[in-house]
Chain A
Amino acid sequence: MMKEKLIGFLQNKWSQVILFTLFVVITSLSLYLSQKSVVAFLLLLASLLILYYMKLKNLTKWIIGGGILFILLPMASSGGPAFQSYMEVATMVGIYVAMALGLNIVVGLAGLLDLGFVAFFAVGAYSYAIFATPQASNFMPFGSYPLGGESFWIFLIIGGICAAIAGVLIGIPVLRVKGDYLAIVTLGFGEIIRIVFNNLDRPVNFTNGAMGISSVTPPSIFGIQLVFPHHFYFVTLVILAFTIFAVLRFEHSKLGRSWKAVRENEIAAQAMGIPLVKTKLLAFALGATFSGMMGVVFAAKQAFIDPTSFTLLESFTILVMVVLGGMGSVPGVILGAALVTILNLQVLTELTNWVNQLTLNGIINVPDALSPAKMQKLIFGLLLVIFALYRPIGLIPAKNKKFDEKKLKTNRLAIDRENTVAIDKDNV
């Protein structure tokens, strides 16, 4: 009896709204008042997940979610010195979510296992870093470099386009092979791009090689220079919003259907008139675009990039996000990317600090090699294996669009009726 009542209560829309509001208010207040409470920060982020499951209209959810991310989260975490570090974490979450959504097009929708995805992030990052530093004057015959901070906004588009072109260029040779072979070839190309950036300092110095490019001009808008993490937080959020919007549109269009058809059965897809190579290349190019845009943000935010930011481990990390969240599922991938990034940046770091503290105090002695921060690969490996074995569909599995039978039917009747009316008129 009690249990049923409780369930009934929790399923009621208004009780949900009240509880949710309470939750958000409490977590925001505790984050604001107790600055160091990482838990409060994480719980406030988790409110978005709760929101996802609430019985509200989609548009309402988007507005509330946007409100939390654009206003509440920055305000609640601005109560003290940890503000910038929270914003930094949130920015990284946004960057990875957008990248994972890009990879989701390739892996989740089109079913092409790409193990070198970080290459497109690198292309975006380098495209801005090279032109926003004196680096470009090494090979550009005209113009003066570095370009000003206003160029950042154009480079968001240029970086995306460069990444898309890289996607097509890599895709043309790579898409000749399928399945496991594709995974290996993309892995190879991912590494090739990194090594190329690592060595493009001779004969003409494009990338400054392993030294990396430093002092990247910070973006500016209306004369304000964007240098603080909370600046980049808002930039990231806007791009992320665009990314989510775009991938949802793609997924539910004829394009998304053609990707899924190719994933499900290449031969049948072709027999239905879907060009295989073009469809796959489009998945590569569009997936890469979002990654490239975030690469530009990353370069501007770090003000320094070198090839070590774009290793194989990064590609794997993004793949783990997609698999963990649910291949082909936009909400799943968002959750997966957020969890993995937070695990990486917050949980493991906090644990490492804690273990170091204990070691310092002489309570336990954990050798450096066993510090949690170094377990990243092990943890990702375990996560992949566990999910592959026990929940291959991921945390929030992909759902097909539900078509409203009534709409498809009533419309038909309406047409029939129109026709009848028309005929009647003719008779008169």
Chain B
Amino acid sequence: MTTVYQEKDTLAPPPAERKNIFGWMLKNLFNSWYNSILTIVAAYIIFVLVRGVAGWVVTKARWEVVPANYRLFLVGQYPSMIPGQEDFIWRVWLAVYLLAAITGLAWGIWVKKREFVSWVVLLFPPLVGSSPYVTNVGLKLVGKLYGVTDVYQFPGFSAKAWALMWGLSATGLAFWALGRAFGRRLARFAVTMLLLYFPLAILIIGGFGEQGWFQAIPTRFWGGLLLSLILTIVGIVMSFPLGVLLALGRQSKLPILHSLSVVYIEFIRGVPLISLLFMAQVMLPLFLPPNVVIDRVLRAMVAIIMFAAAYLAENVRGGLQAIPQGQYEAAYAIGLSGFQTMTYIILPQALRTVIPVLVSQFIALFKDTTLVAIVGLLDLLGIAQGVIANPKYIGTQREVFTFISVFYFVFTYAMSYASRRLEKALGVGER
């Protein structure tokens, strides 16, 4: 046998670096006198802040307010809280299970690469379930530092809750396997389901008719995370077509269409969301006949959709401008009409470049929806205010708002992490 020439033998290894932590600190934190001073000052500030907060966390905070209101935070007063009435929480679970099934299916069909993020998504429900235990370990550790022995410990979830969470993962896995096995043959079905999912979920949760399993549940009972998510999803899904139309309108050569779009986009972008929400609550009735009463949640939705559409339009416009003139010319030259050129050539390419922006807009909107609390809706933040106002939990602002902040952070970070990895895996955003 001849020896195989190996390229790596010929390459010199990079010069060895000091790998230990002191080497790193010397190189990055104390490499000059002003950097050293900055490091020390910053370290001191961090120390003071953490000491204050951590002490409060393990000694004074009354964390029992959080687990006592889990359900309120998640779904608000979604029927069940009303004594003597049937509990319809299973409808929320049904919607979540459907989501798990569709996500699993789509994942099996389209995500081919093995990615760590798949595990994160698959195990997301039990991960959420184990978060109290993780928090408890942290609390104990910090407690030790402060010499506190009886630090607060969060109660775990009930066996039923655990079963439901593992059930979600199992459902996702089963449908993933299905997607894997049948692959592209299920693609059309999966796309249909993806498109149908949001209206379907809202139908399941909102219900219809007077009686029965799916009887209508008025929006004043929607609340907590459920309401925040519904507002966000409806906002993104419904603003999408409107935003695309506005972007096309702004590009249009027809002067009226063009100026209407520009005025709309610039007006909305120049107004804070909160004032749009107020306008929708107090001004909308002025435009409507006196006997028409619109739901308060619906009013907020209208404002959010109008708001999101203007920003989306600008993002789509960016995508449109990135399409070279040659694409239009080639499309016209083979005889496509202006409409066909848009539908088959320009928009598919423009929207592909916009997907990553869309995801970050979704996350931004998720945070922005907290403003509906100010106009009196009981979204996650609204519920938090309600909990604090409860005489039983008087004086627990810090605990509740800390919980809400951590919750928002974990949720949005998880979303942006998952979407970033997913974009990589699917190669979207590239042309």
Question: Is B one of A's binding partners?
Answer: no
> A residues touching B (Cβ–Cβ < 8 Å)?
none
